Amino acid sequence: MSNHSSSPHADEESPAVPLTQSGREGRSQRYSPRSAPTAQCFGRLNAGIADREGETSVTEEQSVPAATGNVPGPLFEEHPDLAAALEAGRITGEVGTPRENNLSHIHRFLDQERQFDFGVALTQEWDYAKVFALMVEKVGLRPDPAFTEGVDTISTERCIAALARFGDVLGSAVAAQARILFATGHPGGMLPVHMAFAQWAAAHGAEVISPDGYIAVPEIGGDLRRISGVWVWHQHGGVPHTHLAEPMAALLDELTTRGEEAPDLVVADHGWAGCAGTRGIRSIGFADCNDPALFVAEAQGQVEVSVPLDDDVVPQLYQPLIDFVLQIAAEHLDG
């Protein structure tokens, strides 16, 4: 449930799925997560991680405003280990992406810059005030518009609620043995997350879309590669971080050329998710606090779930998130 009512699209937010530990007792599980790491463990891991370029660190010397977008709620209290791990890893809470970057990306999205539109077609009228309010509502940015520099926030409560909905969509698709396409534009952070979901989906009867052969991306160069069931864009010997929609467009066009059906579900991020959603394909994905495009796509009904989180922390810090999603998804396989 939202802690802010300023968004013009508050009525479009999907209700949080009620999650109770007692509701899972006695039910057979198709996924057994490792014990959730403690907050202290994640704190020690994160303490050794150097700050990324252009990001901020939380220090005693910094002036952080009192108003925060990260207000604990019932899901935070119901899943304290997950909440603690998310915040200790700076996946949510006070995160590394600075406020000035978040606000700049809203402007650049509205200007429809190629790296910032994520291939999302605008079907509603948007201005800065509306997108900012949406990001406060969906992501948990600090709500004071006068705060323009410093440490910003992602709501742990909203992240957990979105992860639960994400797990429900993934689980229902796998239970139906759907054709699922997994992809990421953020291989340095999110590739292992998508790999875990793709491997779980394949192991439980879903068709993970994996066409063979060379697939070029003519508009931007390079080609598409598949790593453990997850599609990435390859260029010049590497798999770069990208917001661009062209890799997904090339893959979907190739499927059409080969006479294959479109995916039943796309699980992705960045332009991979935005492009698929704009083409009318059921899509769920992850987005950072400086990625307004996917939250706009969710508000417009093009992307079913956009999970707010920092999408570029050390990959092992996402393990509690993976465990939680697959626990939710596995419930759809119980019968």
For residue 138, CA distances in Å to 9, 215, 288 come to 9, 35, 11
How much of the chain exceeds pLDDT 90, in percent? Answer: 78
Q: 3-class DSSP state for residue 120?
A: coil
What average pLDDT does the segment 128-135 reach?
A: 98
Amino acid identity of residue 37, one-letter, is P
Strands 283-287 and 305-308, how do they pair? parallel
pTM over 0.85: no
The confidence score (pLDDT) of residue 68 equals: 85
- What the block records as the tokens of 238 is 């590497």
Question: How many whole angstroms separate alpha carbon 75 and alpha carbon 89?
Answer: 18
- What per-residue confidence (pLDDT) applies to 146? 95
pLDDT band at 318 (very low <50, low <70, confident <90, very high): very high
pLDDT of residue 33: 43
**pLDDT value at position 306?**
98
- Measured CA to CA, the distance from residue 38 to residue 81 in angstroms comes to 7
Which of 53-57, 151-155, 184-188 is least confident?
Answer: 53-57
Kindly report the number of other CB atoms within 10 A of residue 279's CB atom: 17
Whether 1 has a pLDDT exceeding 80, the answer reads no
Sequence-ordered list of residues with C-beta below 8 angstroms from that of 98, at least 6 positions apart, any chain: 54, 55, 56, 149, 150, 151, 152
Q: In the 8-state DSSP scheme, what is residue 71?
A: -
Instruction: Give me the residue spans of the domains in the chain.
Output: 75-331
Q: What Cα–Cα distance (Å) separates residue 192 from each residue in 183, 184, 237?
A: 11, 10, 19
Contacts by residues 33-37 (CB-CB < 8 Å, ≥ 24 positions apart)? 33/320, 33/322, 33/323, 33/324, 33/326, 33/327, 34/319, 34/323, 36/81, 36/82, 36/85, 36/320, 36/323, 37/85, 37/319, 37/320
